[in-house]
């Protein structure tokens, strides 16, 4: 049995838990740290960080990283140069905090905990992601979004305060609480955690939220799709155009118009044609007036003019376990909808990319999708370009109020490919890179901020954005993620992590001395 330590439980090589705790959910990323600290309280997190900072370190292996849910898409947490991992997974309480007049969510909680405790016990909703294993420590700080975001906005739109273990210039470690009401340095620290990404400024230990919406009594949801074998290129262009145009038209409530579809969230799953179907999901709060009618109208609008028949789906997509069922709108109980098991770790490796859209996908991007998704491959390729609806309540917040600069987009894309963990995967990665570059070829292979696209999502990190081979736009990765907010984030970094203790391939870069 592990003995108590003021810096948490220490897991060293040879321990039965060492291997699973030194790898990410994506089995591409592994590490061999000197040790792992599993902490249960903010004080333990502070003490663990103090110990790690004070130790002498090999310059080639000096990284100290933080693990919440372990779902980082790149090697920012687990890689060969990591010396210490501080795991906050046991710090997962969710409770009402009278002293703060807010709901406290500890950084080790997961989306599954939010559904079970915040929603199930307190009856409150944080409009974040639906993957149950994702840790809130990184999800929230990246500006998390989910199925309720068109209705209620982003997670960070409700963030009142954040507690962070930070390292001072003289390498002292202290816990700092920054609130939305603070000004100056503390106000900047709060702001940086509203979209500036995790692992940049310190170890987040706790978040506090105010004015959270209530959980709906039920969900109206429909899942359906079109069989690839029945789709012509004209059908494909029509359904993609219909989906995009729907959310262009229904951007959300305005001062002069109440949009009846403001709360509806839609997902279009453009799979590789080695799969059976292209999928469509519709999701809305059942308490919204005429919710079932809204879902039916949305499905009809996307299907309008598509020659291939709309039908129930023929297969289960592992990363969307509920994507089976009927094209008819169905009222689903809250627990049935949200409390679903995570996909087992270490089964498949993956690569991901992203893009924000201010307008519907132009014809050349749809062409690139059609050609890329039909590219012949050996065997089944598990790949999808997932188009999520955006806008509505997300866009009620002005750019600059949080560190999420993309506040006028209508869609968010996630490009994904998976392969068995025991295989190489290089051909899969190459395929995704080429598809992505072909989609954004007019802007150097990446979705630069212009009238159509608006950069990338920091919580879907992609190190290719730092590569001259895959990003020929001349626009740096930092601008693609953070837009005009990046200089302010660098100032926060200089103030709160002056020694650059927390760094990875795409961490906030220290300010360069003026010459």
DSSP letter assigned to residue 467: -
Bridge partners of 67, per DSSP, are 87
Tens place of pLDDT for every residue, the chain, 515 residues? 566 799 999 999 999 999 999 998 999 999 999 999 999 999 999 999 999 999 977 777 889 999 999 999 999 999 999 999 999 999 999 999 999 999 999 999 999 999 999 999 999 999 999 889 999 999 999 999 999 999 999 999 999 999 999 999 999 999 999 999 999 999 999 999 999 999 899 999 999 999 999 999 999 999 999 999 999 999 999 999 999 999 999 998 876 778 999 999 999 999 999 999 999 999 999 999 999 999 999 999 999 999 999 986 555 443 333 333 345 666 766 544 444 333 345 578 999 999 999 999 999 999 999 999 999 877 667 999 999 999 999 999 999 999 999 999 999 999 999 999 888 899 999 999 999 999 999 999 999 999 999 999 999 999 999 999 999 999 999 999 999 999 999 999 999 999 999 999 999 998 876 53
Is residue 479 within a helix (H) or strand (E), and if so which, with residue range?
Answer: helix 477-482
Assigned token pair, 300: 């009809």
Q: Is domain 218-481 annotated with CATH 3.40.50.2300?
A: no
Sign of CA dihedral 408, 351, 69, 267: positive
Spatial CA neighbour of 441 closest among 481, 482, 465, 470: 470
Q: CB neighbours of 147 closer than 8 A, spacing ≥ 6?
A: 127, 130, 265, 283
Alpha-carbon distance 2 to 11, whole Å? 9
Alpha-carbon distance 270 to 228, whole Å? 10
Alpha carbon 478 to chain centroid, angstroms = 17
Q: Give the CA distances from residue 501 to residues 162, 172, 353, 496, 511, in Å, rounded to whole numbers and listed in that order.
A: 19, 12, 27, 10, 14
- The pLDDT assigned to 314 comes to 53
Q: Give the CA distances from residue 104 to residues 94, 265, 313, in Å, rounded to whole numbers and listed in that order.
A: 6, 27, 40
Domain ranges within the chain, ordered by starting residue? 1-214, 218-481
- Other CB atoms within 10 Å distance of the CB of residue 211: 10
- The pLDDT assigned to 1 comes to 59
Please give the torsion angle defined by the CA atoms of residues 419, 423, 424 and 430, in that order, rounded to the nearest 10 degrees: -20
Please give the full DSSP string across 401-423, using - where no structure is assigned: TBS----S-SEEEEEEEEEETTS
- Is the CB of residue 453 less than 8 Å from the CB of residue 357? yes
Q: Give the CA distances from residue 84 to residues 3, 18, 48, in Å, rounded to whole numbers and listed in that order.
A: 19, 12, 10
Select 1-214's CATH number: 3.20.20.140, 3.30.465.10, 3.30.1360.200, 3.90.1150.180. Answer: 3.30.465.10
- Is the CB of residue 132 less than 8 Å from the CB of residue 114? no
Assigned token pair, 364: 């050349």
Model confidence pLDDT, tens digit, residues 99-141: 999 999 999 999 999 999 999 999 999 999 988 999 999 999 9
Alpha-carbon distance 233 to 241, whole Å? 12
Model confidence pLDDT, tens digit, residues 170-207: 999 999 999 999 999 999 999 999 999 998 999 999 99
- Report pTM: 0.93
Question: What phi and psi values does residue 113 have, to the nearest 5 degrees?
Answer: -65, -40
């Amino acid at each position: 049995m592990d003995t108590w330590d003021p810096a948490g439980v220490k897991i060293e090589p040879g321990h039965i838990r060492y291997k699973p705790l030194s790898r990410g959910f994506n089995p591409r990323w592994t590490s061999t740290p000197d040790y792992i600290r599993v902490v249960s309280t903010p004080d333990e997190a502070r003490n663990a960080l103090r110990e790690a900072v004070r130790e002498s370190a090999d310059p080639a292996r000096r990284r100290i990283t933080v693990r919440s849910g372990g779902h980082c898409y790149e090697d920012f947490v687990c890689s060969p140069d990591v010396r210490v991992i501080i795991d906050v997974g046991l710090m997962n309480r969710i409770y009402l905090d009278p002293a703060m007049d807010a709901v406290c969510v500890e950084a080790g909680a997961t989306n599954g905990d939010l559904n079970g405790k915040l929603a199930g016990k307190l009856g409150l909703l944080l409009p974040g992601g639906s993957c149950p294993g994702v840790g809130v420590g990184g999800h929230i700080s990246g500006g998390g979004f989910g199925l309720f975001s068109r209705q209620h906005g982003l997670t960070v739109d409700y963030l009142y305060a954040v507690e962070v273990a930070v390292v001072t210039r003289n390498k002292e470690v202290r816990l700092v609480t920054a609130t939305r009401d603070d000004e100056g340095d503390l106000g900047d620290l709060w702001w940086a955690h509203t979209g500036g990404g995790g692992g940049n400024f310190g170890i987040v230990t706790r978040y506090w939220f105010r004015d959270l919406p209530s959980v709906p009594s039920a969900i109206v949801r429909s899942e359906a799709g079109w069989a690839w074998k029945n789709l012509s290129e004209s059908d494909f262009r029509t359904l993609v155009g219909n989906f995009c145009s729907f959310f262009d038209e229904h951007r959300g409530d305005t001062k002069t118009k109440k949009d009846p579809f403001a709360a509806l969230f839609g997902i279009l799953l453009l799979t590789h044609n080695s799969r059976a179907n292209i999928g469509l999901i519709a999701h809305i709060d059942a308490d919204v007036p005429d919710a079932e009618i809204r879902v039916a109208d949305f499905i009809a609008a996307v299907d309008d003019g598509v020659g291939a028949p709309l039908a129930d789906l023929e297969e289960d997509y592992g990363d969307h376990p509920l994507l089976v069922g009927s094209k008819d709108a169905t009222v689903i109980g809250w627990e049935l909808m949200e409390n679903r098991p995570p996909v087992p770790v270490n089964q498949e490796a993956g690569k991901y990319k992203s893009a924000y859209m201010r307008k519907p996908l132009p014809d050349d991007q749809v062409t690139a999708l059609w050609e890329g998704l039909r590219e012949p491959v050996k065997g089944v390729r598990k790949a999808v370009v997932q188009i999520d609806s955006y806008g509505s309540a997300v866009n009620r917040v002005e750019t600059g109020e949080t560190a999420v600069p993309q506040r006028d987009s209508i869609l968010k894309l996630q490009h994904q490919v998976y392969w068995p963990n025991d295989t190489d995967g290089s051909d899969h990665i190459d395929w995704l890179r080429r598809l992505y570059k072909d989609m954004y070829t007019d802007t150097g292979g990446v979705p630069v901020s212009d009238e159509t696209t608006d950069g990338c999502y920091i919580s879907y990190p992609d190190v290719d954005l730092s590569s001259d081979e895959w990003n020929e736009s001349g626009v740096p990765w930092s601008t693609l993620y953070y837009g005009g907010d990046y200089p302010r984030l660098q100032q926060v970094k200089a103030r709160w992590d002056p020694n650059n203790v927390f760094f990875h391939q795409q961490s906030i870069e220290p300010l360069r001395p003026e010459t």
